[in-house]
Structure 1
Amino acid sequence: MTRRLVLASNNAKKLLELQALFAPLGLELVTQGSLGIPEAEEPYPTFVENALTKARHAARASGGAAIADDSGLCVDSLGGAPGVLSARYATLFGGRRDDAENNAALLRQLGDRTDRRARFVCVLAAVRGADDPEPLIAMGRWEGSVLAEPRGEAGFGYDPLMFIASLGKSVAELGAEEKNRLSHRALAARQMLQLMQEVWFGRE
């Protein structure tokens, strides 16, 4: 089993986070963009379906193993939105696909709602090949609430708006090491590492 995994994303910040999280298995992550692989469509309403679609697309184009991350913010009082549309939420309202515009769109949609409970969700899907009948799927959830205005300079996406009460900070106020220990992506990655060790590398 190869120790190289094609990451079905061209997000440099996601790559850095996942590289750190997958270091214990000695996995080499390369982005699909560096191999000339275009991004897959994400037509489904769930993180699981989109992650698996992206992983199979990258595996088919690269001829090897691939992993995909589909993640986003789900806000209770918005019926789970932005959800799978988190990265392009502002475009639903005439804005650009941009972190700052997405954050502004979310605050406008929330308005003066008092229920601001939310969670970051991450699904990781990994396949040994495009037609792998036994994909590995892991999910992480990180509970918090949406602030009235952004706080902090670190991270990306909705990190400046996501407040973690137990820490007394927004996600954008956390250091990279702390975020990589606690985040939805970290939780999903730990599950995935265990699955890979048991199902993939345990058979070597």
Structure 2
Amino acid sequence: MNRRRLILSTGNINKVEEIKDILKDLPLDVLSKKDLGLGSIEVEENGDTLEENAIIKAKSLANMVDGMVMADDSGLFVNYLNGEPGVHSARYAGINARDDENNIKLLNRLKGVPLEKRDAYFKTVIVLVTEKGEVITVTGKCEGYIGFEPKGEEGFGYDPLFVVKGYDKTFAELGEEIKNKISHRARALNKLKIEMKKILEDD
């Protein structure tokens, strides 16, 4: 199989490395939009759902580059908070909020809430736009709950607060190797890998 280009719409270096690691056994040259000099281009994510935002990002980049384009949108959904922060996860504490500011806001919103009511899940929606313009959508989900304080040094975003069901450790404590096997993004990417293998074999 000839190597193909896969361009990622994200500028998040952590996300880029995570995706590269999970797709490393496919004949793909995985590039970020920054690698192509498009790092400064921002797309307004004004969708009401993760799916809508991922499609907006993927299609806008697909119009500018040659190759397959992948975009994802992820969110943390806390049931007690009626799904907050959800689609607004990255900017929960404000448009340019840092990870720690988002985490502090979430902890404050859950102040006094007991463990049994702190269940939550991460969800990722990945959209792939093929060279032919076909749009493929896959989703991944990871269940857990929100801890009472940040724990662990690895990961990013809400990883220090999200305790993974069945592990009793946060993503930030589990580390990259385990996270890349069980996370919401890993589960979505593994579904996407199946679709991408079909595309690569068909061409």
TM-score norm. by structure 2 comes to 0.92
Equivalence map 1:26-175=2 (5 Å): 26-37=27-38, 38-91=41-94, 96-114=96-114, 115-129=117-131, 132=133, 134-175=134-175
In 1, the alpha carbon distance for the partners of 2:17 and 2:92 equals: 24
Task: State the Cα distance separating 1:194 from its structure 2 match.
Answer: 0.3
Task: State the Cα distance separating 1:53 from its structure 2 match.
Answer: 1.0
Letter in 1 for 2:98: D
Letter in 1 for 2:36: L
Letter in 1 for 2:55: L
CA contact (8 A) 1:138 1:188 kept: yes
In 1, the alpha carbon distance for the partners of 2:64 and 2:135 equals: 17
**Cα RMSD between the aligned structures?**
1.5
Match of 2:17 in 1: 16
Task: State the Cα distance separating 1:98 from its structure 2 match.
Answer: 0.3
Letter in 2 for 1:76: N
In 1, the alpha carbon distance for the partners of 2:17 and 2:188 equals: 15
- Select the structure that is richer in helix: 1
Task: State the Cα distance separating 1:125 from its structure 2 match.
Answer: 0.5
CA contact (8 A) 2:4 2:67 kept: no
Q: Report sequence identity in percent.
A: 40
In 2, the alpha carbon distance for the partners of 1:27 and 1:51 equals: 21
Letter in 2 for 1:79: N
In 2, the alpha carbon distance for the partners of 1:2 and 1:65 equals: 12
Encode CA deviations 1:39-98: one digit per residue, 9 max, x unaligned: 211101111111111111111111332001111211111111111111111117xxx510
CA contact (8 A) 2:3 2:29 kept: no
Match of 1:184 in 2: 184
Encode CA deviations 1:16-57: one digit per residue, 9 max, x unaligned: 000001112122111112223212111011111111111111
Flag structure 1 segments of 5+ consecutive residues without an equivalent. Answer: none
In 2, the alpha carbon distance for the partners of 1:144 and 1:196 equals: 29
| DSSP-derived class of the 1:54 partner | helix
Match of 1:201 in 2: 200
In 1, the alpha carbon distance for the partners of 2:15 and 2:136 equals: 19
Deviates most, 170-179 or 56-65 = 56-65
In 2, the alpha carbon distance for the partners of 1:195 and 1:65 equals: 13
In 1, the alpha carbon distance for the partners of 2:50 and 2:176 equals: 24
Task: State the Cα distance separating 1:2 from its structure 2 match.
Answer: 6.1
Encode CA deviations 1:114-163: one digit per residue, 9 max, x unaligned: 3111001111100024x82x311111000000011101110000000001
In 2, the alpha carbon distance for the partners of 1:146 and 1:168 equals: 11
| DSSP-derived class of the 1:34 partner | coil
CA contact (8 A) 2:45 2:57 kept: yes
| DSSP-derived class of the 1:136 partner | strand
Number of residue pairs matched?
198
Flag structure 2 segments of 5+ consecutive residues without an equivalent. Answer: none
